[in-house]
Amino acid sequence: MTVELKAGNIKDFFGSAKETAKEIDDGHKLTPKNTIWVEPSDLMAILKPERTKLVRFLRKKRKVTYSELMAAMNRTPVSLNNDLKILSKYQLVKVLREPNPGHGIHKVIETTFGNEKIEFKAII
């Protein structure tokens, strides 16, 4: 299965849902879809080089602490937080808070797509 990101608005989303409902009504067997609808401006933001580099890094690591990620990517907290915010908005990463034994709580970043292929589609 692949994760598919489609540029579109709420009208596009409901149009797609209507097509799926029609297929169900017609008795077609549906295959699971993993489609995420993205605002066109956000799609361009996701495709920025630093964010795609981050996605590739997380694909290899799966789960990493915030401080490890910041050091590995050589990023400032502000820029990394901006990247994580947009990626988590579209469920490409999870940002969790986990206990750090003897040291309180730390932020952990986890990929939600694993080894799944991610396809980007823009419909204009």
In the structure, what pLDDT confidence band is assigned to residue 124 with cuts at 50, 70 and 90? low
Q: Is 5 exposed, middle or buried (0-12, 13-18, 19+ CB in 10 A)?
A: buried
Say whether pLDDT at 68 is over 50: yes
**Mean pLDDT, rounded, of the chain:** 78
Residue 102 — left, alpha, or beta (φ > 0 → left; ψ -120 to 50 → alpha)? left
Amino acid in position 6: K
> What does the pLDDT read at residue 78?
93
Q: How many CA atoms lie within 13 A of 39 on its CB side?
A: 6
Q: What is the mean pLDDT of residues 33-57?
A: 77
The fold of the 2-122 domain, in CATH, is Arc Repressor Mutant, subunit A (1.10.10)
pTM score over 0.95: no
> What does the pLDDT read at residue 5?
62
- The domain ranges of the chain are 2-122
> What is the rounded distance in angstroms from the CA atom of residue 15 to the CA atom of residue 104?
47
Say whether pLDDT at 59 is over 80: yes
> What is the rounded distance in angstroms from the CA atom of residue 91 to the CA atom of residue 113?
9
> What is the rounded distance in angstroms from the CA atom of residue 55 to the CA atom of residue 109?
11
pLDDT digit string, tens, across residues 72-97: 989 899 999 998 998 888 788 888 88
Contacts of 1 (CB under 8 A, 6+ apart): 32, 34, 116
